[in-house]
Structure formats: structure tokens, C-alpha cells
Amino acid sequence: MSDTTPNRPTANHVTSHGVIPAPRSVRGSTRPGVPLDARTTLWAGPGTGTTERWLRLTLGAALGLSLPPADQHAGDAAHTVRLRIDESLGKGLGPEAYVLDVDAERGIEIRGGGSAGVFWGAQTLRQLIGPEAFRRAPVRPGVTHVVPQRTVEDAPRFGWRGCMLDVARHFTPKDGVLRQLDLMAAHKLNVFHFHLTDDQGWRIEIKRYPKLTETGSWRARTKFGHRASPDWEEKPHGGFYTQDDIREIVAYAAERHISVVPEIDIPGHSQAAIAAYPELGNTDVVDTLSLSVWDTWGVSKNVLAPTDNALRFYEGVFEELLDLFPSEFVHVGGDECAKDQWQASPTAQARIAELGLKDEDELQSWFIRHFDDWLTARGRRLIGWDEILEGGLAPGAAVSSWRGYRGGIAAARAGHDVVMCPEQQVYLDHRQADGPDEPVPIGFVRTLEDVYRFEPVPAELTPGQARHVLGTQANLWTEVMEDRARLDYQAFPRLVAFAEVAWSALPAPAERDFADFERRMAAHYPRLDALGVAYRPPTGPLPWQRRPGVLGRPIEGPPPNV
């Protein structure tokens, strides 16, 4: 017996096979399943090419199968995997919804409402096969894998299921970014927020401004631990992506039905850009020629000057960006812009008077509104951190609500779209436990269960306002994540819980069956092992995952619900 209501996932059979995120409906039987072996063929209908390629390259390699093409109307149906897009006019599946049907007599069919739905159905099929399907080559050649007889019907709760990766504080080489996209796809996450610039580094080639990477992509040394730490790593750190690297990343993501949203942070978090081009800074109050890429953490007071020169410079940056990223949204940051230099700058004060603005907050809003208009004129949409609300919300802009729920609530009530990513809930750089072995403890304790009980839609919103919540996003800020192992540790397994929150139609937080999720995680950990993910074990960090003596910034007590 299974619950097939559209707003709650079933537990029956999902538990026994550990499907994550939890599907909306699973029906099954004890009859024999479908074997995957040398006889297995693959038929791909129109529009399913991304999944066809992925199945051959990924599952085929893992299981040692060639998956030769099948004829739609001939061959052995019981040994065929069929991919098709639903063609029911007006009554079909949503674009990301799918039905996965595994039947011993009819073989395996994945039917999606669109090409993305077919791809997500293939991710579920991979989980049903078992951990060996997550490897890059067969570990038991010749062994037949049997997919259990199941019918899975599924669709996502949110259209924006995001993960942000900060590559400015610590650079992630291109192969690491591609790996991150694979891990996102395995968990049905579909928006990769690419934080490309900050005070500590500029990571994308801009051909008309070569010094952004020649100077801005590396720093002489790096603070080790929290910014109050006395320790330094006394060697240069840096790296950047060429424009061909970016094209490759965007294409790789598109093959996995992931949209890449680039972020160029303005007008704050801009010291790396000012170090490369000193005229961008507030030259009337600070010697910008003496600035270098910042080597510590926190919020730099070196921000862009509110000049026409700065506007034209960043228009040039965004022109090249739009050629590389086809995404609807472009993120402009807009957060933590220190106003000290503007308050002291005659140029900034003259601009405030010229524009008839009230204060520096409105000056920041003017800066953001300029690029909102500029992007809108080119068919794109601006999104920024919730500070863009200060001094007046930019018309047409969407908001990443990071300081809590409050900014998202205000934006939704004003009719603006919102992505919920409150720091207190889904900043995965925050520590996972309060024990002394937790490496570089930052922020509040956010356990796996805490993330699983995160609710993206605030109860204060009316149904009409709640429709402005595009979805949710987990953020990975890398000040204390210096390499892939540290990134893995902070992200996993909590990103798995987050993925279920973003995809599945779960009950209210207090009613969620975390015990069932833990049982399914017991089946999921071997998949992460097969993928080589250095996750935090349920029992705590392994000896080599600890960082004894490295200063962090723990915050005691439960996080405020703001």
C-alpha cells in the first residue's frame, strides 16, 4: 500500500531502497525486477538526448555496459531502457516531473514532462541499482544488476533548488567545479550559484580588462582559520577560469539540467578589482594605488566609487559575462557594502546631492538600480543579496534572502521573487556539532536534522505572497574550506538533507520523519563513498578531518529565527 497524494512522499518501499530526495509516490511488488546486462539496450525518444548520453557515459561506465540503441518497435522490450517525454496535451507532467516504471515484462521506462524530468528519473534509476552505479568503472565485471520492480511518480516542490559555491576566498579548480555539478545532479539540485569575485580574488577572465586576473586573481598569503586567528599560510593563493573554462562549465551544467547563475559582487566586496584597477576605488579618500588583493577575511571597507567610470567598467564586465552565461538571472551581490569611504568622499557626497538621494543607503540602491535597468534591457533579471532592499528595492529585482527570513518576507510582500537561503539555517560553512573535534568551528550548530527541518517558505506569507518564493539555496562560503576535502566535509551529508527539503513535498518541520530519512541515509552513505565524497560521518569527524588548534568563531545557542 502506498500514499499517492500529490503533496506528501510515500515511505513504503522508498525506505527499503533509500531513494533521496524522497519521491512523491512509490508502488512496488516482490516480483522479479529487470536485469541490466549485455542484453540491455537503450531507446531514447525526441528531446531526451542529455539523459541518453549521461546513461551511456555514467551508468554504462560504472556497470560495464554499452547500452546499444534499440528500435522503438522491435527488439526485446523486457531488456530495454526507454526514455520519452510525456505528450499528454494539457494533462501531462510538469517539465521536471517524471514517472519511472520498472517492470519485468516491459523493461524500464522513464517518462518525463520535459527533458529535465527524464534526467531526474535517470538519477532515481541510478539509486535503485545500488552503490556500484556511482563508480566510474565496474568493480565486479560480468555481474548482473537487477533493478527492483517499482513505479515511481515524482515532481519537485521548488523550481529553484540551488547550491552556491564561493571560489573567491579559496579557489576551486575547474575539475572540482565539474565534480560539484555532478554531485548536485545526483541530488536533483538544479541551480549552481557561482560566486566568482570578492575582496580576496577575481576568478573569471574578462578580455577587455586583463589585469582583473593578472593582478586580481591571486594574493600573497592567506589567513588560516577565522580572521582573528594569528596563523597565516605564507604562500601565494590564486587561480581563475578562462572564458573557455566557463563555456565548458556552463555546457557541462546544461547537460545535467543545471542553470549556472554567475555572481559579480558590486559595489562592495570589490577590493580585488580595485587592486587591479585603482581608479575604480574612492581615490579622493584612500590611496588605492597601494591596495593589494585582500589576504584576510571579513568585510573590506574598500568599495567601488559611485562614478560613471565605475559604471562603464562594470557594464563592460557584464557584457562579456552575458556572452558566457545564458541564465535568466545574473547575481550582482549588493551585500555588506561598507559606507565609510562614501561618507568621507567629496565625490560620493556630490553624487548623492546630484541625484537627490537621502543618504549612502540610497546611493547603493542607485548603483544596483542602474544594473537592474541595464540587465533588464538585455533580457536578463538581476538578483542580489537582501541588502539591495536598503534604500529602496530595485524594481524587477529578485532577492537572495541571506540575513534571515525578514528580507525575503519584505520582498515577497512587495511582489518581488525570492530565493530563501537564511544564514542561520543553510549556510553550510556553519559547524555541524558543538564538540571539540569539529574542525574550525564557525557560527551556529546546524546538524543534519536541523537542515532537514528547515522550511523555506515563511508562515507569515499569504498564499499569493508565497508564490514569489522561487525556491531555496544552500551556500558554501570557503574562508575556512581550503581544499576539496574540507568542502566535502562541510557540504555532506547536510547538502543531501537540503536537497530533500528543496525537492520533496515534506510535512511541516516538526512532523518530518527524520528517522526515516536517517534510514535512507544508511543506504546513501555507500553511494557517497563510491563517489569519493569525504563527508562527515554520523559519529563525528575522522582523525584526519579535524583541525586542532585552528581558531574558529563558534556562536552558542540556537540560531535566531529572524
* pLDDT tens, position by position, 171-185: 999 999 999 999 999
Active-site hit among 101, 132, 153, 198:
198
Residues 360 and 412 sit within 8 Å (Cβ to Cβ):
no
| Strand, coil or helix: 154 | strand
CA 118/CA 95 separation, integer angstroms:
9
Active site residue 386: no
pLDDT band at 159 (very low <50, low <70, confident <90, very high): very high
For 219-251, write each residue's pLDDT tens digit: 999 999 999 999 999 999 999 999 999 999 999
Residue 74: pLDDT above 70? no
CA 384/CA 377 separation, integer angstroms:
17
Residues with Cβ within 8 Å of 155's Cβ and at least 6 positions away in sequence, in order, are 6, 24, 93, 94, 96, 97, 98, 113, 117
- 3-state SS, 178-220, equals HHHHHHHHHCCCCEEEEECEECCEECECCCCCCHHHHCCCEEC
Residues with Cβ within 8 Å of 260's Cβ and at least 6 positions away in sequence, in order, are 192, 194, 249, 250, 253, 325, 327
Residue 462: pLDDT above 90? yes
Active-site hit among 182, 295, 336, 361:
336
CA 397/CA 376 separation, integer angstroms:
9
Residue 278: pLDDT above 60? yes
| Cell numbers at 482, concatenated | 581550503
Look at residues 43, 145, 147, 149 and name the one whose alpha carbon lies nearest to residue 103: 149
For 93-137, write each residue's pLDDT tens digit: 899 999 999 999 999 999 999 999 999 999 999 999 999 999 999
Active-site hit among 269, 331, 416, 468:
269
Active site residue 198: yes
Active site residue 354: no
Residue with cell 540575513: 403
Burial of 102 (0-12, 13-18, 19+ CB in 10 A): buried
Instruction: Give the pTM.
Output: 0.96
Residue 39: pLDDT above 90? yes
Burial of 506 (0-12, 13-18, 19+ CB in 10 A): buried
